[in-house]
Amino acid sequence: MALIDIDNLVFGYGKAAPVLDGVSLSIAHGERIAILGGNGSGKTTLAQWIAGSLPRPGMTARSGTLHAEGKPWSDWDALKRAETIQFVGQIPSQQISGFAFTVYDELVFGPGNLGLEEAEIRKRADWALDTCNLRHLVERDPFTLSGGEQQRLSIAAALVMQPKALVLDEPTGNFDPESREKLLNQINQLPEDLTVILCDMALKPALAIARRFLLLDEGRIVADSDAQAILAHPRTLEVFGAPAVTEAALAIRAAGRWPEGKPLPLTYGQAEALFKEVSHAHG
């Protein structure tokens, strides 16, 4: 059974044009999936549906359904839902509970609500502190942290719930390049059975984490494929551009010098080998 099943979902705020316009999508357990799209493409709204923050009174689907492990979110109780999926939004300061005076208390807040054993809560908190590189901030007031630190804290607070799925909405927006690399590495080291759904309007984090890519455009899924196909999609180039090495390969391909069937490079490592091959092929 799929973790998330969305069938022809149409949703809009009030009477405005739909933000999600006939979205159908199935997400399996353990998938690493990126939902890409430009501003206003419906990424955050789709993420909220997936995470169960929607529907709400006055904000219901015009048509279509969403099922999590076979039943709509409305049939789930609050405990099971929190243990199943966690959502981390874009604005770090809005992801803090407002209940904890220290980073450590913020981390143990959720597991405390789950009613777990004290030893289990401490074990989870220790793991999350190391995973998200927060140990040196353990005594700090969450509201005094920088944006990047707050974002790491909100991801850690989601991870301590040990959900089956983690939905990240532009998680690296507040990070400098070095911190971004570190966080992406940390996400990649998360347990394999954890489903990670990343919504972003930057290719780099998506390419670093995901193995499946959705391209959302004006509320519709216009591509659902692997990295190679998504990079070759014309809307990808229009909305995001491409990584520099991929741009170079595309220019070579446009000039008719890229070997037929060769994948485009996504990283510098891949590019080095591929460019050497192309260079040898053309003398």
Partner 1 sequence: MITQGSSQTGTALLYVPGNSFIHRMNPLTKLVGLLWLAATTFMLPPGGMATIFVATFLFGVLAGAGKAFIKRLILTLGPFAIFLFVIHGVLIERHDTIQHEWISFSPEGAQYMLKILVRVAALLAASMLFVTTTHPANLLKALDSHGVPPGIAYLIASPLLLLEPFSARARAIRDAQQARGLDLTGSWKARVKAFPALLIPLVTLALSDLDHRATVLDGRAFRARPFRVVLDAPVDRPYERWLRRALLIAIPLQIGVLLWL
Asked if 96 interacts with partner 1 (CB under 8 A), we say yes
Regarding 213 and contact with partner 1 (CB under 8 A), the answer is: no
E strand or H helix at 276: helix 268-281
Element counts in the chain: helices (H) and strands (E): 11, 9
11 binds partner 1 (CB under 8 A): no
Among 8, 62, 70, 99, binds partner 1 (CB under 8 A): 99
Closest CA to 22 of 41, 9, 33: 9
Q: According to CB under 8 A, which one of 153, 161, 231, 264 is a site residue for partner 1?
A: 161
The answer to whether residue 117 forms part of the interface with partner 1 (CB under 8 A) is yes
Q: What DSSP assignment string belongs to 236-261?
A: HHHHH---HHHHHHHHHHHTT-SPTT
165 makes contact with partner 1 (CB under 8 A): no
User: Cβ–Cβ contacts within 10 Å for residue 156, how many?
Assistant: 24
Q: Is 109 in the site for partner 1 (CB under 8 A)?
A: yes
Please tell me whether residue 105 binds partner 1 under the rule CB under 8 A: yes
The residue from 138, 190, 222, 248 that contacts partner 1 (CB under 8 A) is: 138
Residue of the chain from 67, 122, 182, 233 that contacts partner 1 (CB under 8 A): 122
| 143 near partner 1 (CB under 8 A) | yes
For partner 1, the binding residue among 5, 69, 126, 141 (CB under 8 A) is 141
Residues 69-88 that bind partner 1 (CB under 8 A): 77-79, 82-83, 86-87
Q: 20-27 and 4-11: which strand pairing?
A: antiparallel
* Cα 266 to Cα 258: distance, rounded to the nearest angstrom: 15
Distances, alpha carbon 6 to alpha carbons 3, 73, 144, 158, in Å: 10, 12, 39, 23
Q: b/e string for 178-196 if b means 16 or more Cβ within 10 A?
A: ebbebbbebbeeeeeebbb
Residues that bind partner 1 (CB under 8 A): 51, 53, 77-79, 82-83, 86-87, 89, 91, 93-102, 104-105, 108-118, 121-122, 138-141, 143-144, 157-158, 161
